[in-house]
């Protein structure tokens, strides 16, 4: 075992006790309304954020709370990891969160949303900034946004941004972001033990693939001129590029999805009913299970660390889905469909 790794593994095992049990998540989901949800949540370790004078009643506020708790847990592990593993985790998590924020900002600009509204949905990331989000928020023109990317790992986005501006479509940017993230992880994958690299890269590639498949499926319903698909969807990992082309074309969507191999076919199946949320839930479940398989092979090495952090992320995702469901007064049993952890109850 690498020097310093044993301490991090022991710490991850200990910090698992802070995670909410699947039974607790299920009980939170099954509360009748937002008030009851907050009441039960205040009896968990999240009570500190929900204390007197700090009451959160909006889903956006709660999402920020859950994101902040996740980032705090992540930071507690990253700062005590051996340098090489810490470097990997910073790319795997902090860069992904940073990209998530940049995507939100750009979507807001394409949708002409007020800056304050866009800021509500940003992850409160204070730990790993390759870019200054405030400057991007205040950029009035897309050209200004492009200029701010100079000297950052996102500089290659320039051509995609220009393509998006020409066709008034966000897809080229989304796909390029996904590619840059996969390549960044690939660049540091040697930092983790060799026996874990293939599994972790498949997790990263599967996420990019599913996001690109969703974008391709939306492509067919566009009511305006779009760039040639091959100029956008240049990067696939777990299937033939022909699948992407088929998804972008008019025709039988069922046939296109059924032509996917496992696990993509099972993950994408809800898109046949237009349910993107359930597709992303299926993806979260798949990544979570892949991490769990790694932990079964070695619960006293890097897989333990990865599994713990993904458990934190899945908990956050389940709580975010529940908060939004309560705000929109969705039936609790329906909300349960969009969570991951309750499904593992015996």
Q: Among 215-229, 304-318, 319-333, which stretch is predicted with the lowest mean pLDDT?
A: 215-229
Task: State the sign of the Cα–Cα–Cα–Cα dihedral 169, 97, 272, 175.
Answer: positive
Q: How confident is the model at residue 53 (pLDDT cuts 50, 70, 90)?
A: very low
pLDDT tens sequence across 142-195: 778 888 888 888 889 888 888 888 888 788 888 999 999 999 999 999 999 999
| Predicted confidence band of residue 51 (pLDDT cuts 50, 70, 90) | low
Higher pLDDT, 328 or 127: 328
pLDDT band of 39, cuts 50, 70, 90: very high
* CA atoms lying within 13 Å on the CB side of residue 286: 23
pLDDT exceeds 90 at position 295: yes
The domain ranges of the chain are 5-344
Indicate the average pLDDT of the chain. 89
Cα 171 from Cα 129, distance rounded (Å): 24
Spell out where the chain has E strands. none
Angle at Cα 67 formed by Cα 64 and Cα 73, nearest 5°? Answer: 140
Residue carrying structure tokens 């990263």: 204
Q: So what's the pLDDT on residue 4?
A: 82
Q: How confident is the model at residue 322 (pLDDT cuts 50, 70, 90)?
A: very high
Q: Taking Cα atoms as reference points, which of 100, 99, 77 lies closest to residue 88?
A: 77
pLDDT digits (tens, 9 = 90+) for 92-147: 999 999 999 999 988 888 888 888 888 888 888 764 556 667 888 888 877 788 88
Report, as an integer, the average pLDDT of 42-59: 78
Q: Residues 316-331: what's their mean pLDDT?
A: 97
- Which pLDDT score, from 0 to 100, does residue 253 have? 85
106 neighbors 170 (Cβ within 8 angstroms): yes
What's the token pair of residue 119? 């800021």
pLDDT over threshold 90, residue 243: no
175 with 212: CB under 8 angstroms?
yes
DSSP 91: I
Tell whether the model's pLDDT for residue 84 goes beyond 60: yes
The answer, yes or no, to whether residue 69 has pLDDT greater than 90, is: yes
Q: Is the pLDDT of residue 54 over 60?
A: no
């Amino acid at each position: 075992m690498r020097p310093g790794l044993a301490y991090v593994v022991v710490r991850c095992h200990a910090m698992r006790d802070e995670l909410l049990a699947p039974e607790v998540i299920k009980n939170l989901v099954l509360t009748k309304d937002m008030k009851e949800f907050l009441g039960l949540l205040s009896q968990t370790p999240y009570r500190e954020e929900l204390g007197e004078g700090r009451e959160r009643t909006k889903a956006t506020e709660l999402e920020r709370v859950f994101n902040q708790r996740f980032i705090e847990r992540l930071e507690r592990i990253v700062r005590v990891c051996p340098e090489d593993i810490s470097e990997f985790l910073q790319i795997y998590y902090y860069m992904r969160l940073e990209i998530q924020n940049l995507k939100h900002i750009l979507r807001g600009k394409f949708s002409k949303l007020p800056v304050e509204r866009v800021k509500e949905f940003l992850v409160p990331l204070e730990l790993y900034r390759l870019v200054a989000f405030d400057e991007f928020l205040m950029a009035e023109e897309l050209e200004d946004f492009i200029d701010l990317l100079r000297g950052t790992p996102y500089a290659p986005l320039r051509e995609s941004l220009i393509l998006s501006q020409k066709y008034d479509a966000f897809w080229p940017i989304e796909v390029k972001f996904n590619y840059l993230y996969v390549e960044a992880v690939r660049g540091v994958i040697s930092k983790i033990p060799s026996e874990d690299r293939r599994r972790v890269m498949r997790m990263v590639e599967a996420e990019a693939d599913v996001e690109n498949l969703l974008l391709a499926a939306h492509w067919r319903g566009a009511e305006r001129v779009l760039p040639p698909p091959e100029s956008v969807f240049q990067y696939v990992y777990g299937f033939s590029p022909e699948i992407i082309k088929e998804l972008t074309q008019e025709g039988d969507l069922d046939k296109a999805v059924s032509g996917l191999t496992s696990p993509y076919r099972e993950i994408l199946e809800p898109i046949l009913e237009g349910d993107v949320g359930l597709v992303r839930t299926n993806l979260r479940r798949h990544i979570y299970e892949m991490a769990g398989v790694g932990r079964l092979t070695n619960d006293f090495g890097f897989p333990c660390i990865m599994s713990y952090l993904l458990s934190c992320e899945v908990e956050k995702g389940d709580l975010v889905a529940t908060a939004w469901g309560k705000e929109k007064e969705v039936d609790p049993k329906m909300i349960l469909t969009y969570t991951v952890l309750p499904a593992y109850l015996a």
